[in-house]
Amino acid sequence: MEVHGLISALIVGTIVGVLGQLAVPGKQTIKPWMTVGIGLIAALIGAALGKAFDWSWLPTALLQVALAALGVMLLAGMGRGATGTGTGTGRGSPRI
């Protein structure tokens, strides 16, 4: 891959990652480099699937953003506790 190909991959990966993060409701606390990484992976997988199914650019781009959103949800969910609050203290549970 040439230099301009790497630069364009980083730009597309960043845009796809940010759009994927915006598509997920709530606050995500993942690092910016993780967003770019998720976007790069989603862009590559989405482009490969779009090419395999001979899709135009719009369905391919929507698939890339959906894959990035899925990646953000999975990665953001890994950082939270079993309750989904991120604290794992159980505070706020009703007392019996």
Residues of the chain with pLDDT under 70: 1, 5, 79-96
Tokens of 62: 């929507």
4-17 pLDDT, tens per residue? 767 777 888 888 88
Res 54: pLDDT: 93
Domain ranges of the chain: 3-77
Decide: pTM greater than 0.75: no
Burial grade of 20 (CB within 10 A; 0-12, 13-18, 19 or more):
buried
